[in-house]
Amino acid sequence: MFSTLLNIVIPVFAVVSVGFVFGRRQRNTDMSFVNLANVAVFCPALVFSALIANPIQIGTSWPLIVAGVLVILLPGLMLCLFKFKGLERRTLVLGGMFRNTGNIGIPLMMLAYGDDKLGAIIILFVLSNVIHFSLGLFILSHEAGRWQWLKSPILWAATLGLLLAEHRSALPEFVYTSADLLGQIAVPLMLFALGVRLASGEVGELGLAFKVNMSYLLAGALSLLLVAWWLPLTSEWLQLLALSVMLPPAVLNYLLCEQYQCQPNKMASIVLLGNLMSVLTIPLVIYLTLTFL
């Protein structure tokens, strides 16, 4: 399992490293246009294609859906009680609510718990993205206007994907193929942009990043216990939820902090260190879930 984790995590850091080297060689690189294109085009395409390919069955999956929402919202509420010097509350809360359920979470859950869990895994992925680009943007857009999040293309792509998921046969095949092709650009470009940001030499202190990530793990564990006690969840769903709350902060958090000018340097260090820490925390979580659930 450890080698499997390395095979997933190392490529993530490889792409970040490429961005870091590029940023070092090309001084004063302006990634604002690239980041804007990712948020406005590639990420919406990723969310839309994921929803079309994996429709959500609300009738049979409602406990997992409710649990998936709660393990995002509860850590956010808990983290409001924490305070770290020099770190804005919205920066702290964003990273703790939204985990790396996409490029690390999906393949890792499939390898750890089986391909037959893909439907449930996609539900957690989609929930995270929909809330990220509604409530998450609402939190970030404090100074830009509280309704700025309604202008997000990703929110409307998610809405369209949810509405059309059950009617994919009515869509021309090239619509889905085009969205899927554009969506494949999103995650590698996020990682590359993170590397470029790290190359600027303005990364926040690692001590702060470590304490923040530890608070994320604590809030995630407590939220999981509350959800497991309250909802009728199967052991398979509990395995997925346990791993999802222990995943590192999403790289997308950095991208959005960059766009909304919400301490992107500190978010970059939190994301990077969180992914490094996951090499130790995730194998432990997988071992415990496979042994006791």
Q: What is the pLDDT of residue 203?
A: 54
Domain boundaries, the chain: 2-292
| DSSP states of 220-252 | HHHHHHHHHHHS---HHHHHHHHHHHTSPBPHH
What are the tens digits of pLDDT across the range 91-144? 999 999 999 887 678 777 877 888 778 778 878 887 888 888 788 888 887 655
CATH of domain 2-292: 1.20.1530.20
pTM of the complete model beyond 0.85: no
Q: What is the CA radius of gyration of the chain?
A: 18
1 vs 215: which has the higher pLDDT: 215
Of 171, 163, 134, 106, which Cα lies nearest the Cα of 256?
Answer: 134
Q: Compute the mean pLDDT over every residue in the chain, rounded to the nearest whole number.
A: 85
CB distance 87 to 212 below 8 Å = yes
118 vs 62: which has the higher pLDDT: 62
Q: What is the pLDDT of residue 2?
A: 66
Determine the distance from the C-alpha atom of residue 275 to the mean position of all C-alpha atoms in its chain, rounded to a whole number: 12
Determine the distance from the C-alpha atom of residue 71 to the mean position of all C-alpha atoms in its chain, rounded to a whole number: 13
Across 13-22, 122-131, 160-169, 230-239, which has the greatest mean pLDDT?
230-239
